[in-house]
Each structure stands twice: as structure tokens, then as C-alpha cells.
Amino acid sequence: MDFDQNPKEGSRNIVRLDEAEDRLSRQQIREMADIYHLAVEDLDEKKIIHSKMRDKKILNVFREIRTKLMQKVGGKNFTLLVTSISQGGGATFVSTNLAASFALDHGKTALMVDCNIYAPSNDQLIDGADLGFSDYLQDPSISMEEIIYATGIPRLRLVPAGSATDLGPEYYTSYRMQQFVEELQGRYADRYVVIDAPPIGSTADARILAELCDFVTIVVPYGMVTSEQVKTAIESVPSDKLVGVIFNN
């Protein structure tokens, strides 16, 4: 990693945000200083797109998906849920890089939320987070600022899955969950929220979360699922929210 300055002592490269970042203008977003930046080598190792990557093909694919999503809503921010048909199908890879593609724009910020408490991907971007999404839902005393972390990628933030692994479906339909999504959507006008959800074919979580999001995309692991599984997954998502299917190999 390339560090611009030392992170908070004892935080192991984790930086919590504070309320000073609220209501940022485009100019402020451009000038927003992250405590540390991931080096090009780190991004390549983590398979995260960046402007300096040698293979521009995958970079351009995610840029194209980003452009189509923004055209659909006229450039307004939105919440996108990314789910796969099966565990290990690539939802985390797609959600991380879609969030990174929005963060490439100096006039926008992105936030990735890891809602897959069964197979958290926290260590993809940060190390040793002590609070996250599940903790926020269970404990009303935890504020939003306490679960949003810098990632080492400019303008990209992460809400990790958290320590609680026994959330039931009732948590996703609670007022606390609705409050969580509404605050993510309304707090920053230039923030695009990408939710990494559990597989839609394994639990009811993704279907419930889909009701709270603006759009849904399904990641299909190429050659690993049947056409019937794909059809069932598509039919389980409201047609007005499904923006597309991404084949991942």
C-alpha cells in the first residue's frame, strides 16, 4: 500500500468517516483526501479495476455498465443490489468493481455495502473492521458513521458485513433497515450505493433486500448453473427493478 499519512493508531489501515463529509459539493468530492491509497499492485492483486490497469477490456466493460445504469436514471444516484444465483458466483467481484467504476469519476462517490453475512468479503478491501451492517441493524446505539470505512480507493467507501451472523429475515423488513437504506440514498446526492447480497437462489435475503433497492442485477456464473435456475432467479425479482443479467466466467 501507498500511504499519504499514517492511519489512526491501532486501526490497522481502517479509517472511519465522520459527519464532516456530509453534503459534499462536487468540488469538495474532488478534493476529498483519503488517509491512504492502495497501490496499483494491490488493486491488480485484488482484481479491482483502476484507470492505470494494463488490460483495459474489463475496465471498459464496467465503465459501459456504469454508463447504461446512469442513463437509465438520468444521472441521479441510486441503490443497486447485486446478487448471484449461487454462492461463489461472482456477486462480490461485480459489486466491488461496479462501485469502483463510479468512484473513478472525480465528481461522484460510491459506497459498497456487504450484506452477505453468510460469506463476508470484508477482507477484500479492509482488514479488521469491528462494526458493520449486521451490528447496525441489531444495535440502535450504533450510528451510520461508525460502520462506514475508507477503502484505500479514492471516493469509495465500504460498509462491511459486521460481526453478527444470526440475522433473521425480520431484520430486513424492520424500520431500522428501512432507515438504513433511506439514509444511504438521501444523505449524499452524488453517492451511488452498491449492495453485495447473498445468492438469490440460496436464501430469501436477496429477494427481501431487492424490495428496498432501486435496481437489481443478477450475476450468472457461466457454465455453473442451469437455464432453469437462471429463469427462476429472474422471475423472483420485480420486473421493474431488474436492470440486467451479467455473465461471469
Q: Model confidence over 27-45: pLDDT tens digits?
A: 444 444 466 788 999 999 9
228, amino acid identity: E
Residue 11 lies in a domain: no
What is the extent of the structural domain holding 158? 26-248
pLDDT digits (tens, 9 = 90+) for 180-211: 888 887 777 789 999 999 999 778 889 999 99
Stronger pLDDT, 231 or 32, i.e. the higher one:
231
On whether residue 135 sits in a domain, the answer given is yes
Q: Pick from 241, 236, 190, 235: which is nearest to 213 by CA?
A: 241
| Average pLDDT of the chain, as a whole number | 83
In a domain, 61, yes or no: yes
Measured CA to CA, the distance from residue 144 to residue 183 in angstroms comes to 9
Model confidence over 57-85: pLDDT tens digits?
A: 999 999 999 999 999 888 788 999 999 99
Cell numbers that stand for 96 in this block: 466491488
| In-domain check, residue 80 | yes
Residue 106 lies in a domain: yes
Q: What is the mean pLDDT of residues 110-123?
A: 84
Query: pTM for the full model?
Result: 0.83
What are the respective helix, strand and coil percentages of the chain, to the nearest 5? 35, 15, 45
Q: Is residue 20 part of a domain?
A: no
- Higher pLDDT: 31 or 124? It is 124
Structural domains counted in the chain: 1
In this model, does residue 8 exceed pLDDT 80? Answer: no
Chain centroid to CA 27? 23
Q: Which CATH number goes with the domain that contains 186?
A: 3.40.50.300
The edge-to-edge listing of strands for the beta sheet with 191-196 is 149-150, 156-159, 109-114, 191-196, 79-84, 215-221, 242-248
What pLDDT shows up at residue 34?
60
Whether 224 is covered by a domain: the verdict is yes
Q: Is the pLDDT of residue 229 over 90?
A: yes
Q: Are 135 and 163 in contact (CB under 8 A)?
A: yes
The torsion angles phi and psi of 168, rounded to 5 degrees, stand at -100, 165
